[in-house]
Amino acid sequence: MVALAIFALVAVVLGSAYVNVLNGYEVARNANANDFDIAFARSQLLTQSDLPTAQNGAEFDDGERHVKWTAEIDPAGTTDLFTVTFTCSITGRPTDDPKNVVETFVLLRPTWSDPTAQTTLRAAAAARIAQVQGKAAQ
């Protein structure tokens, strides 16, 4: 009788451990699928040479998931350097909550620069460099 009770207890523990492992695999699979969608959306942003197109973002479907991304892009105060706030929203089945990811990073994009602002920033940088080198009047 004791052996049967011990066997039943071990069977329950092993069964629950197996279910937990299966749940972990499912969570990891879903997380990786979202990571691939976010990486693909980010790569679409990084390949944009036109500033308005990059700010508008894009949408695409990946199987049963719909991915929409936008970017808020601001000059960083240095020539051709921009601060980008990348927002990606992934929606799946109607019963799932959407997953939103917001990333902020800095990009060097000469094609996004306004030529007038670019000239002004370059002149300001040249003046700062000359001042550090002691070639300019303070």
The reported pLDDT for the residue numbered 94 is 65
Mean pLDDT of 52-58: 92
Alpha carbon 60 to chain centroid, angstroms: 16
DSSP H or E stretch at residue 62: strand 58-62
pLDDT of amino acid 59: 92
- Lowest mean pLDDT: which of 67-71, 73-77, 94-98, 108-112? 94-98
The yes-or-no verdict on residue 33 having pLDDT over 80 is: no
- In whole angstroms, give the CA distance from residue 120 to residue 105: 23
Measured CA to CA, the distance from residue 84 to residue 106 in angstroms comes to 6
Of the spans 91-95, 106-110, 113-117, which averages the highest pLDDT? Answer: 106-110
Tell me if residue 8 falls in helix, strand or coil. helix
* pLDDT bracket for residue 125 (50, 70, 90): confident
Average pLDDT, the chain: 87
Cα 44 to chain centroid, rounded: 11
pLDDT confidence of 83, banded at 50, 70, 90?
very high
Is residue 137 predicted with pLDDT exceeding 70? Answer: no
Query: Which pLDDT score, from 0 to 100, does residue 104 have?
Result: 95
User: Which secondary structure element, helix H or strand E, spans residue 119, and what is its range?
Assistant: helix 115-133
Residue 128 region, left (φ>0) first, then alpha (ψ -120 to 50), else beta?
A: alpha
Task: Give me the sheet containing 65-75, strands edge to edge.
Answer: 58-62, 65-75, 81-91, 99-108
